[in-house]
Structure 1
């Protein structure tokens, strides 16, 4: 791939760093891999963390969502900071913070410590991810930008695969904390690449930081997710659950009101007046809602029901990532030919079909069926990422690329956080309901936690079996019903995931632009 090829129509107005644009893209991909792998690497470690840190299912959901919520809440601010002081500086700061948080997370002594350090990792990740897209948008001219964004989006597929696979490999040989240390050398490579090839870029007329908006957005999302996760563990009749949901919704309404009132909003809500922008943002949010939420319950299916090791479960998720990595770069070309509407709608149709196919995954389903279903899911998601991202970025002026990239990434993160919270809570509630009184034969101290998660149930069974006696025989009889209960709960949760994909398909068919016709 040549680094000196110039578009004929733009030879007089080439952006800074154009000659090194492909090296810049490679560096931004390394940074993106670190941020996404820092999140996805946790997925295969969840059952291990539950055992080693004695964590509840709710705490595990928070270990994922603390990162995502801080990430989403600070994206706007980091985008503005990058526009003001320079995206190169923000990238270096973000990589440093992320690496520090990774080291601290690796040596957490409890689930609460892990949640806190994951939040710190989210601070760094929020600086890095939007800056990568902003740099790409500035370095590549319009004629090549779609292709570059396609490669950028495809890299997320590699991270989706690389995270679980690398995490599983590490867990085969080292203690659980080592999964977080993998990001440190990747951060070092990213810093080196930034210093060598990435040009500085900033907005000549940057906005101001919206501190009230940032605080309102984080508070609203945290309280909402708290209510959702609590509903899954304590039941939806719980007063505190509905109180938290009401307060979260109220804070979200205040956030929107403030964004419309302030002269320097953290989120420019006026962008959502564009049907194409809103449809693309909604499509990305629903895509990551399905991806993050489904990965959460699929890992438990693979390790808890099928008995896979962390490495085996990480390998089983590779088809999702390969589908994304293969289709994301190609989807830009397909969108140029057939229109973003047709490509994204096809992608969501495939996603819905894959989640409908989860109904076929029983306790003894053949491996090929699992892999085919996950491949279909990845191909569908790969079809939507690049066209939806390009639809968002095409609305935003180049000098506002940081803020536009922040919007693009925030909807992904909010969608993913809600996916883990909502689908995880549905899964926990359905599992507890199906398992019923079967847990009563387990040790009293383990019953409450055992009813939330298949891994917790099987861990309690193993403890009872080691103790021996009549209790061991009774506990052993719980294992098979627990697996059946989890599969039933997963089927129910997958129906909701498929429904979200159908809604997303309708959204893009109605509001996303079709093929641009030339005369």
Structure 2
């Protein structure tokens, strides 16, 4: 195999692997009402079907990067693919909610191995001069998962079954495993770093305990030992995680990264912004199907405008952010998204999509396009190039964990029922989180010295190439 043939094969494999992981996150929200209708469990099962996956994915994605570096990209990628295939089949054949939730948690653990390894595979096989173009193609193709996912999920649910949403993963996984055969095996890494297993365990226990309490309190109440004991254990584990990461020889989460102002402020803004992104896009498809009477396919199409505008305009706003600095866009973008969600407060029964939902979704998409690429640029620009990989992984983990917590909290927000009043409360909370994210950006983010503009009178300036918008909305 020539070097060029190998690079082409590696790029295709990396794209398909990430596409599988992103597609799974994009289709699940559309399938939730059908899953609940067959398995029962109400809103609690719907929350767990999403959060079980996000829990292990968010908690283990940093560890996965370390495993990839230590034991080899191809080895970790194969393990992740086999794990994702098996757990997808278990999800597809699950006959009760408990089995589905456990399988989704294991699927998230397998998914955590895929995305970091796919990017690391590109870095390892492409020379520095070609990496930017290769990652750009990776980003463009994997972004299409967020366009295809809602429609594909809706069609599969309406015409066949929600079970096919999971079972279909097996086909591309089998194709990728066949494509990987000519790549051989990884060379041993004699200088592999120590893996932070204790940090990973503390992270999973901490997030698992707090998320369990947030979801189950709606059913059991805060005074139930099954709620407050996991909550206490979770909080203690999270505190212990931070303390351990400060002293660990090879920490899973290098806290020294947060000494950079834009990295710290950008990740704090990410927490609020992505908590809102995922909360809003979790609630709306469920509401449209269960209350509005939309089919799964129509609900998927109805929530497509934000992703379509993100794909169409994201690179343009990324260029503007690189030219004028990210601060203005990270401030204005979330506030524009907040306005979009406030426009959906017009929702009532019967749902009139074109004037109650569509205008708000267009504004939401415009604001998301303004926000995502400049946010990524600000965060990655705040760390040394040699640490850009871990910086991106930290930001991805923050975004996913923020969504995990916000979805876990939806039962508190809607008081157990996602009716018209419940959705309106979600829209208000979503808008409030976005405004906070915008304010944090304005206060905390600083434009690079050579590109710092006055917001009222923007002056063009040169800047480094804007990184691709890797941290788009996840499910």
Q: Secondary structure, in 3 states, of the residue corresponding to 1:42? A: helix
Residue in structure 2 matched with residue 32 of structure 1 by the alignment: 18
Shift of 1:247: 3.0
Contact in 1 for aligned 2:24/2:166 (Cα 8 Å): yes
- 1:169 counterpart (155, 158, 177): 155
Q: Matched residue pairs, number? A: 450
Residue in structure 1 matched with residue 395 of structure 2 by the alignment: 408
1:279 matches 2:253:
no
Larger mean CA deviation between 220-229 and 50-59 belongs to: 50-59
TM-score by length of structure 2 reads 0.85
Assess, with a 3 A threshold, how the Cα gap between structure 1 residues 168 and 378 changes in structure 2: closer, same or farther: same
Residue in structure 1 matched with residue 80 of structure 2 by the alignment: 94
Assess, with a 3 A threshold, how the Cα gap between structure 1 residues 497 and 302 changes in structure 2: closer, same or farther: same
Residue in structure 1 matched with residue 407 of structure 2 by the alignment: 420
Distance 2:252 2:29 in 1: 30
Contact in 1 for aligned 2:75/2:185 (Cα 8 Å): no
Shift of 1:224: 0.6
Q: What does 1:324-335 align with in structure 2 at a 5 Å threshold?
A: 324-335=310-321
1:392 matches 2:325:
no
Distance 2:389 2:150 in 1: 29
Shift of 1:314: 1.2
Residue in structure 1 matched with residue 65 of structure 2 by the alignment: 79
Shift of 1:99: 1.5
Q: What does 1:366-385 align with in structure 2 at a 5 Å threshold?
A: 366-369=352-355, 370-385=357-372
Residue in structure 2 matched with residue 123 of structure 1 by the alignment: 109
Distance 1:229 1:157 in 2: 30
Distance 2:280 2:193 in 1: 37
Deviations 1:456-489, CA, capped at 9 Å, x for gaps = xxxxxxxxxxxxxxxxxxxxxxxxxxxxxx1111
Residue in structure 2 matched with residue 466 of structure 1 by the alignment: none
Assess, with a 3 A threshold, how the Cα gap between structure 1 residues 365 and 49 changes in structure 2: closer, same or farther: closer
Larger mean CA deviation between 293-302 and 212-221 belongs to: 293-302
Shift of 1:62: 1.2
Larger mean CA deviation between 223-232 and 322-331 belongs to: 322-331
Distance 2:14 2:165 in 1: 22
Give the unaligned 5+ runs of structure 2: 452-460, 463-475
Q: What does 1:8-407 align with in structure 2 at a 5 Å threshold?
A: 25=11, 27-136=13-122, 152=138, 157-191=143-177, 205-235=191-221, 241-369=227-355, 370-396=357-383, 400=387, 402-407=389-394
Residue in structure 2 matched with residue 445 of structure 1 by the alignment: none
Contact in 2 for aligned 1:153/1:328 (Cα 8 Å): no
Shift of 1:54: 1.7
Assess, with a 3 A threshold, how the Cα gap between structure 1 residues 102 and 491 changes in structure 2: closer, same or farther: same
TM-score by length of structure 1 reads 0.78
Distance 1:186 1:121 in 2: 16
Shift of 1:513: 3.2
Aligned-residue CA RMSD (Å): 3.1
